[in-house]
Amino acid sequence: MKFKLSHYNIVTDSLSDEQSESTKRVLFATRTAKSMVITNRLYDKLQREAWDELAPNDFDKLLAIEAIVPQSEVEVKTIIERNQAKIKDDKSLYQVIQPTAMCQLGCGYCGQKHSKNQIGEIASERILERVESKFAFKEYNHLSIAWFGSEPLVGLAQIRDLTPKFKEMAQRHNCTYDSKVVTNGLSLKEHIFVELVKKHGVTKIEVTLDGTAEYHDARRHTKAGLSTFNLIFKNLLDIFNRPDFKTLGCTISIRCNVDERNSMSVVPLIEFLAAHNLQDKIEYFYVAPIHSWGNEAHLLSHEKEEFAKNEIDWILAQYQNGFRPGFLPGIKPVVCLSVTPDSEVFDAFGNVFDCTETPYVDVYANTEYVLGNVHNGLSTISKHRPLLSFNDEVANNEYPCSTCKMLPVCGGGCPKSWREGIVACPSNKFNIKEKLMLFYALKKKGVEALAQVYE
């Protein structure tokens, strides 16, 4: 049997090591998202594919992390087929529901068109019927609902109405149940949080803060132009400071959407959060570039390379301020719900989509992204899901992902963006080597090393 060096390896430049004379590198095998520190001598042997010169232990480790693979293997085919197998094996039924078309905020970059519509009684029944019908085709062990916006907490009445019905459905099919909420945080009062967790099975909440008050309020203001940061942050503090917060079983992550107008406020926001001792209370803090929402919002975003460079600074700022974020990507066999045949997005009008970025956005209103509407009868909902073939398209070399070393850890990025001609590569593609160097420093010298690098 013959072997070859996998195409899916990222290797840093040489790193000096004060404790030993040999220079080292970090190898990251993206097929397994596993890393290994190797000497330059070993790196040289790998480059020459001199397998008989490798110590058995090194060879076995490299083989185990799939940095070395069988020579005959067509790797991209393997990766895509593994992704597809993972999707087929998934026994969790994931559905996204937008209980209302309303949002209190008027963010400039948002592409959604908000209105006061809520999911009505008939639509609720049809949505339940639609979700129920999925159990006839596959055996699930878990039902997961994401309450998504507009602003889902404006539709709290719908969440209250639908949750017990979904829970009952899950129980009837021997499934466990949980849900998550992606919210602007304005209505996330302490008692609402407790209700969501204790009554509605919410286990994850994501709140958006676009920087400190000055920057956040300049973009995430109400439709009437009123500030929101202090209200949202008070809500968060009330929740985080509950003595039982950690035992309630619901995590809260903070997302910071950035473009060139607010990127300078990311570090101050990290410092602000740290000053309130939230390091071990926030599950995860992350920065996301503004993307196209059927509009041109992304044009004000940083170039990907620049964003990637800034991201390293933001990671270091987190370490300096006592946060301990992970930064190496894991494997991503399921890029998003669009590539799963059973996940759907339901909006407040009863429209059905296969992507969370398309509801309430005018430009997608009469496109194939609208699979149908539950009011027109469930049988009229299209079986054709335009983004479902994304993995096949990657396998057929239709996107640069087919040759990209990062494919196993990014899954290809947003399928819709690629369709629209927008490069969907995540920041990891541009800063993975820097992240590997941080990983090396962390491994060698502990968390102090990262805080010092920042200083």
Give the footprint of another protein on this chain (CB under 8 A): 1, 3, 51-52, 56, 59-60, 63-64, 70, 72-73, 78, 81-82, 84-86, 88-89, 91
Q: Which is nearer to another protein, 81 or 168 (CB)?
A: 81
Q: Which is nearer to another protein, 83 or 235 (CB)?
A: 83
- Report whether 340 contacts 348 (CB < 8 A): no
In DSSP terms, which residues pair with 36 in a beta bridge?
Answer: 27
- Report whether 236 contacts 281 (CB < 8 A): no
Give the nearest distance from C-beta 88 to another protein in angstroms.
Answer: 4
Give the nearest distance from C-beta 201 to another protein in angstroms.
Answer: 24
Residue 69 structure tokens:
């693979």
Q: Which is nearer to another protein, 134 or 242 (CB)?
A: 134
- Dihedral sign (CA 10, 11, 12, 15): positive
DSSP 202-236: EEEEEEE--SSHHHHHHHS-BTT----HHHHHHHH
Give the nearest distance from C-beta 84 to another protein in angstroms.
Answer: 8
Give the nearest distance from C-beta 73 to another protein in angstroms.
Answer: 7
Give the nearest distance from C-beta 114 to another protein in angstroms.
Answer: 40
Q: Which is nearer to another protein, 64 or 422 (CB)?
A: 64
Q: Which is nearer to another protein, 86 or 433 (CB)?
A: 86
Phi, psi of 109 (to 5 degrees): -90, -5
Q: Which is nearer to another protein, 64 or 157 (CB)?
A: 64
Q: Which is nearer to another protein, 142 or 242 (CB)?
A: 142
**DSSP conformation class of 410:** H
Q: Which is nearer to another protein, 138 or 443 (CB)?
A: 138
Phi, psi of 147 (to 5 degrees): -90, 120
Give the nearest distance from C-beta 85 to another protein in angstroms.
Answer: 4
Q: Which is nearer to another protein, 70 or 446 (CB)?
A: 70
Q: Rounded to whole angstroms, what are the CA distances from 226 to 187, 189, 222, 293? A: 15, 18, 5, 23
Burial of 284 (0-12, 13-18, 19+ CB in 10 A): middle
Residue 290 structure tokens:
């503004």
Q: Which is nearer to another protein, 334 or 447 (CB)?
A: 334
- Report whether 84 contacts 391 (CB < 8 A): yes
- φ/ψ region of 38 (left if φ > 0, alpha if ψ in -120 to 50, else beta) reads beta
The separation between CA 352 and the C-alpha centre of its own chain, rounded to angstroms, equals 22
Residue 125 contacts by C-beta under 8 Å, 6 or more apart in sequence? none
Give the nearest distance from C-beta 52 to another protein in angstroms.
Answer: 7
Give the nearest distance from C-beta 140 to another protein in angstroms.
Answer: 12
Give the position of tokens 């992970």: 326
Give the nearest distance from C-beta 342 to another protein in angstroms.
Answer: 14
Q: What is the C-alpha to C-alpha distance for residues 136 and 138, in angstroms, rounded to an integer? A: 6
Q: The sheet that has 202-208: what strands, in order across it?
A: 282-289, 251-258, 202-208, 176-183, 142-147, 92-97, 345-346, 351-353, 370-373
367: amino acid identity, one letter: T
Residue 378 structure tokens:
């469930």
How many residues would you count in the chain? Answer: 455
- Report whether 86 contacts 334 (CB < 8 A): yes
Give the nearest distance from C-beta 300 to another protein in angstroms.
Answer: 42
Q: Which is nearer to another protein, 2 or 191 (CB)?
A: 2
Give the nearest distance from C-beta 87 to another protein in angstroms.
Answer: 8
Q: What is the C-alpha to C-alpha distance for residues 130 and 345, in angstroms, rounded to an integer? A: 11
Q: Using alpha carbons, select from 119, 133, 207 the residue that is nearest to residue 163.
A: 119
